[in-house]
């Protein structure tokens, strides 16, 4: 019943009640000032929000009369909101929440800075072209061939943790390719270009629509991994392996990002390679396999 009540709440109230619960879980207490400073509301409104949360979850918090703070009741706490760990980490990385938890911007949750980000006008042009089903004119710089002009039909964007990529159909070469957004020099929508809706769409992109199953296990080389049980615990493996389904287009990028040894004989050495792709034949006929660790010497046409 509580879930129905929560989902029926107005968005602004929903966000404030969710914040109350977040502070309870990650700091152990919440007060009216948290709400007034975070959402710019008055004390009366903050009091109503806390009272409403207590009505929905009376066993989650109690008022400490001496501090006037509402503290978590650990023995009976039952979260109202389904908070995924990825969302929690994202919240913890924000400076305002980090400050509210008593961690400064420099002493709190640190993460590597993104040193390669696409231009916002290029990103918005791409999404507009995808949503309106239009072609794009692009000047592009590749590592292998340098500067070139292309006409493409884009259908997807993905991020590999370092670069943002565009998946599109090259109209001239009549094939699907992957482009790094940071290598785009010029870009505009070809409003006067006619598009053939029967070709170049996402439904015809075999590599995008093909799903690949990756079975990751602790690296068998004891030089790389002396205690495989630690790796199993580290990656929450079940029965010694971690199974992930990904699109063929991104498989190589993901495996590279995770530093997974993709050689058949698990021959890559070094502390970085703590995982091995046990079912390496799964990458057969996967274009992005050329990016996967241990397979980069395979001949291939550059598609990045």
Distance CA 128, CA 14 (A): 31
pTM of the prediction? 0.81
| pLDDT band for position 126 (cuts 50, 70, 90) | very high
Distance CA 13, CA 18 (A): 8
90 vs 60 pLDDT, higher one? 60
Give the closest residue to 157 by CA, choosing from 122, 198, 190.
122
pLDDT (tens digit, 9 = 90+) per residue, 225-258? Answer: 999 999 999 999 999 999 999 999 999 999 999 9
Q: List, in order of start, the domains of the chain with CATH numbers.
A: 2-100 (1.10.10.10), 120-202 (2.30.30), 210-291 (no CATH)
pLDDT (tens digit, 9 = 90+) per residue, 72-110? Answer: 999 999 999 999 998 998 888 888 888 888 887 666 677
Distance CA 27, CA 101 (A): 6
**Cα radius of gyration (the chain):** 25
pLDDT (tens digit, 9 = 90+) per residue, 159-216? Answer: 998 899 999 999 999 999 999 999 999 999 988 877 777 788 899 999 999 999 999 9
| pLDDT band for position 1 (cuts 50, 70, 90) | low
């Amino acid at each position: 019943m509580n879930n129905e009540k929560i989902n029926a709440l107005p968005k602004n109230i929903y966000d404030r009640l969710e914040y109350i619960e977040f502070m309870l879980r990650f700091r152990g207490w919440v007060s009216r000032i948290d709400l007034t400073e975070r959402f710019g509301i008055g004390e009366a409104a903050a009091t109503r929000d806390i009272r409403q949360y207590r009505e929905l979850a009376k066993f989650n918090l109690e008022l400490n009369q001496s501090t006037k703070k509402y503290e978590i009741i650990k023995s009976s706490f039952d979260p109202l909101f389904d908070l995924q760990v990825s969302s929690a980490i994202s919240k913890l990385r924000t400076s305002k929440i980090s400050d509210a938890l008593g961690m400064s911007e420099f002493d709190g949750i640190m993460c590597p800075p993104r040193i390669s980000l696409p231009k916002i006008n290029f990103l918005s042009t791409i999404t507009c072209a995808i949503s309106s089903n239009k072609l794009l004119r692009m000047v592009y710089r590749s590592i292998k061939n340098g500067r070139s002009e292309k006409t493409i039909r884009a259908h997807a964007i993905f991020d590999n943790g370092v670069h943002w990529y565009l998946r599109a159909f090259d109209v001239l070469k009549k094939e699907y390719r992957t482009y790094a957004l940071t290598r785009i020099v010029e870009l505009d929508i070809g409003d006067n270009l006619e598009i053939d809706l029967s070709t170049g769409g996402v439904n015809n992109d075999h590599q995008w629509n093909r799903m690949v199953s990756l079975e990751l296990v602790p690296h068998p080389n004891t030089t790389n991994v002396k205690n495989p049980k630690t790796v199993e615990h580290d990656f929450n493996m079940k029965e010694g392996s971690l199974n992930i389904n990904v699109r063929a287009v991104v498989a190589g990028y993901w495996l590279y990002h995770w530093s997974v040894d993709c050689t058949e004989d698990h021959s890559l050495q070094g502390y970085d390679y703590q995982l091995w792709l046990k079912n390496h034949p799964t990458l057969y006929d996967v274009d992005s396999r050329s990016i996967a660790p241990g397979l980069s010497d395979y001949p291939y046409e550059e598609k990045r």
